[in-house]
Amino acid sequence: MSDEFTPYPKNPLIQSFFANIGRTDSIGSGVRNLYMYTPIYVDGGKPELFEDDVFRISIPLNKSAAAEAEDNKTLTERQQKIYDMICENKHLSVEQVMSDLSLSRATVFREYAKIKQVTGANYNKKDGTWTI
């Protein structure tokens, strides 16, 4: 475990209480687990901890995990067609996509979710418009 990381509870009294009744692990056990298990899953890599105003952790990926993550950042051909339709018509409805591409409502919503995840496009229900 890194000697630079020093775990401390924000409220030691509450943390002690919950540790005594068995509702929490000891403070820092998650960090110990990170250092113990990360090398197993990422071919020997080690996590990096950043203790700033916001606590962040950087975990390296092995080649197969990086390839899988990259695949999740691309749209399929059908998703790209729907995204192009959204770009052309900011008021695109689910019914229009269903009829144009012969898809079920559930499929359109699944594709919308992936498009939102990859592109950041967002649908505003109040005014019925897409923001890209």
- Residue 110 is encoded by which pair of tokens? 């699944």
DSSP 8-state class, residue 22? T
- Residue 23 is encoded by which pair of tokens? 């509702």
- What span, in angstroms and rounded, lies between the C-alpha atoms of 75 and 96? 20
Question: What percent of the chain clears pLDDT 90, i.e. is strictly above it?
Answer: 4
The H or E element containing residue 46 is none
Q: Which CATH architecture has domain 74-131?
A: Orthogonal Bundle (1.10)
- What span, in angstroms and rounded, lies between the C-alpha atoms of 86 and 34? 41
In this structure, the number of other CB atoms found within 10 A of the CB of residue 83 comes to 20
> Residue 27's pLDDT is what?
61
pLDDT digits (tens, 9 = 90+) for 102-122: 999 999 889 888 888 888 888
Amino acid, single-letter form, for residue 89: N
In this structure, the number of other CB atoms found within 10 A of the CB of residue 125 comes to 6
* Global model pTM greater than 0.75: no
Helix, strand, or coil (residue 124)? strand
DSSP 8-state class, residue 122? E
Each domain of the chain, given as residue ranges in start order, spans 12-62, 74-131
The dihedral formed by the CA atoms of 94, 98, 104 and 109, expressed in degrees to the nearest 10: -30
94 vs 61, residue with greater confidence = 94
